């Protein structure tokens, strides 16, 4: 077995404290935010990698059992890192992955034991397995990454890809009997231990920042914009229209009957009404329109496709038709009825306060549908399919 070169020993010495520090960082993150999925697995992966690096010199002149432990630690670290990324991306826990990982660890130990005893192809296969797992870690992290955490996930995938290439080069060069401590492989491992955790911390920060921003700008029940964010966007739209930009229409909507449904069936039924009304409203407007929940049962929308009275009336008619109708909820039919008041930027003569006042007056003038019936009724039962007729029914 070839001894460690001075360059390899220096890289190994630098990689061990980096891996330990990253493991401690993820452990602290797990305690600060226990609900976060992934940091516990990442801490375990980096801890196993630090232990593998610490045992690396011991495997030079040691027995094949030490080589098997070294290989199992390396593969276990990569599998724990892969499991953490899967959890972070929203994949649920599956017992099948546990059994597959356990079988892979046992197989890695057997291959390393045989390779250390006799050399040859088992070490090449083992290094190829390590490279494949690192490449899978890169693919899972980068594929389909979107949102505030995509930059960190893609950087982490780049470092995992670098480690996979290092392991593949070591497999191509014939591996090492129980050790594989080549200089280039240790350099890739050092960069992975330093860059991969930093990239994942960036992804965690991006996701946390997006969550805080969503709490500040979105309504928690309906996921629409809240009133404060809507007023900010409305003022920006008014400023753009005042500079000669595109004009718009403003609509205010009231969902009637929420208090009555809350009294009859409880707040869960009222929340179901508000959630369904928000879903219908989002589906009825255009993609670039802004919709918001501004109060308990009050909604608002900035309609860029309704800049004149004719287009505004057409949009209001379409909204009225799309928002009304029953909602089936736990054996009941909750009847959604709304009132709409709308006005255009031109009708308000370019003044935002006048636009709000005009829209509010039209909303107050809009009355509910008279004699529309109760707010809650039994859900209609689907017609029963006809069954086979008996001989007695045919005769009588």
Hey, how many other C-beta atoms are within 10 angstroms of the C-beta on 172?
Answer: 12
pTM over 0.75: no
Checking if the pLDDT of 376 tops 90, the result is: no
What is the C-alpha end-to-end distance of the chain, expressed in Å? 96
Checking if the pLDDT of 33 tops 80, the result is: no
Distance of alpha carbon 145 from the chain centroid? 9
Packed helices 64-88 and 183-217: angle between N→C axes, nearest 10 degrees: 20
Distance CA 205, CA 196 (A): 14
**Of all residues in the chain, what percent carry a pLDDT higher than 90?**
34
Cα-Cα-Cα-Cα torsion 111, 78, 83, 146, nearest 10 degrees, comes to -140
Q: Where in the chain is the domain with CATH 3.30.70.270?
A: 227-378
pLDDT interval class at 177 (50, 70, 90)? very low
Average pLDDT over residues 92-120: 77
Average pLDDT over residues 199-224: 88
Q: Where in the chain is the domain with CATH 1.20.1070?
A: 6-217
Average pLDDT over residues 374-384: 64
Could you write out the DSSP letters of every residue in 285-301?
S-TT-EEEE-SSSEEEE
For 107, the token pair is 């197989």
Distance of alpha carbon 377 from the chain centroid? 38
User: What pLDDT shows up at residue 279?
Assistant: 94
CB-based contact 243:250 (threshold 8 Å):
no
For 225, the token pair is 């914009």
CB-based contact 123:175 (threshold 8 Å):
yes
Distance CA 235, CA 368 (A): 30
Distance CA 79, CA 247 (A): 55
Q: What is the mean pLDDT of the chain?
A: 83
Q: Characterize the bridge pairing of strands 376-378 and 325-329.
A: unpaired
Distance CA 79, CA 175 (A): 20
Give the architecture-level CATH label for domain 6-217.
Answer: Up-down Bundle (1.20)
Could you write out the DSSP letters of every residue in 188-212?
HHHHHHHHHHHHHHHHHHHHHHHHH
Hey, how many other C-beta atoms are within 10 angstroms of the C-beta on 280?
Answer: 18
CB-based contact 108:126 (threshold 8 Å):
yes
* Cα torsion angle, 123, 67, 81, 19, sign: negative
Distance CA 236, CA 230 (A): 10
Among 53-67, 153-167, 177-191, 320-334, which stretch is predicted with the lowest mean pLDDT? 53-67
pLDDT interval class at 359 (50, 70, 90)? very high
Q: Residues 62, 7, 78, CA angle at the centre, nearest 5°?
A: 60
User: What pLDDT shows up at residue 325?
Assistant: 85
pLDDT interval class at 55 (50, 70, 90)? confident
User: What pLDDT shows up at residue 63?
Assistant: 54
pLDDT interval class at 118 (50, 70, 90)? low
CATH of domain 227-378: 3.30.70.270
Q: Cα–Cα distances in Å, from 32 out to 25, 27, 28, 40, 44?
A: 11, 9, 6, 12, 17
Q: How many residues does the chain have?
A: 396
Checking if the pLDDT of 180 tops 50, the result is: no
């Amino acid at each position: 077995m070839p001894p460690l070169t001075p360059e390899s020993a220096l890289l190994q010495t630098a990689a061990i404290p980096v891996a330990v520090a990253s493991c401690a960082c993820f452990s602290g993150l797990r305690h600060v935010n226990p609900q976060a999925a992934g940091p516990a697995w990442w801490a375990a992966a980096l801890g196993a990698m630090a232990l593998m690096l610490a045992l690396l010199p011991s495997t030079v002149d040691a027995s094949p059992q030490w080589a098997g432990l070294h290989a199992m630690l390396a593969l276990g670290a990569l599998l724990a890192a892969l499991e953490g990324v899967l959890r972070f991306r929203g994949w649920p826990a599956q017992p099948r992955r546990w059994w597959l990982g356990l079988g892979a660890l046992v197989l890695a130990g057997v291959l390393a034991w045989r390779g250390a005893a006799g050399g040859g192809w088992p070490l090449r296969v083992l290094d190829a397995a390590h490279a494949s797992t690192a490449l899978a870690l890169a693919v899972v992290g980068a594929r389909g990454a979107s949102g505030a955490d995509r930059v960190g996930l893609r950087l982490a995938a780049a470092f995992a890809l670098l480690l996979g290439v290092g392991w593949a080069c070591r497999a191509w060069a014939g591996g090492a009997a129980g050790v594989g401590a080549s200089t280039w492989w240790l350099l890739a491992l050092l960069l992975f231990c330093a860059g991969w955790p930093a990239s994942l911390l960036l992804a965690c920060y991006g996701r946390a920042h997006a969550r805080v921003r969503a709490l500040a700008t979105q309504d928690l029940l309906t996921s629409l914009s809240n009133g404060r964010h809507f007023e900010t966007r409305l003022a920006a739209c008014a400023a753009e229209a005042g500079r000669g930009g595109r004009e718009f229409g403003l609509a205010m909507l009231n969902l009637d009957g929420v208090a009555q449904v809350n009294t009859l069936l409880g707040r869960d039924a009222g929340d179901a009404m508000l959630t369904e009304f928000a879903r219908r409203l989002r589906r009825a407007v255009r993609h670039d329109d802004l919709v918001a929940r501004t109060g308990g049962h009050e909604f608002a929308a900035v309609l860029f496709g309704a800049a004149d009275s004719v287009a505004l009336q057409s949009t209001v008619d379409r909204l009225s038709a799309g928002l009304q109708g029953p909602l089936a909820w736990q054996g009941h039919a909750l009847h959604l009825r709304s009132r709409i008041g709308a006005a255009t930027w031109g009708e308000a003569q370019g003044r935002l306060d006048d636009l709000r006042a005009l829209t509010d007056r039209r909303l107050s003038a809009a009355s509910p549908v008279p004699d529309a019936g109760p707010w809650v009724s039994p859900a209609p039962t689907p017609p029963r399919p006809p069954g086979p007729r008996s001989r007695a029914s045919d005769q009588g």
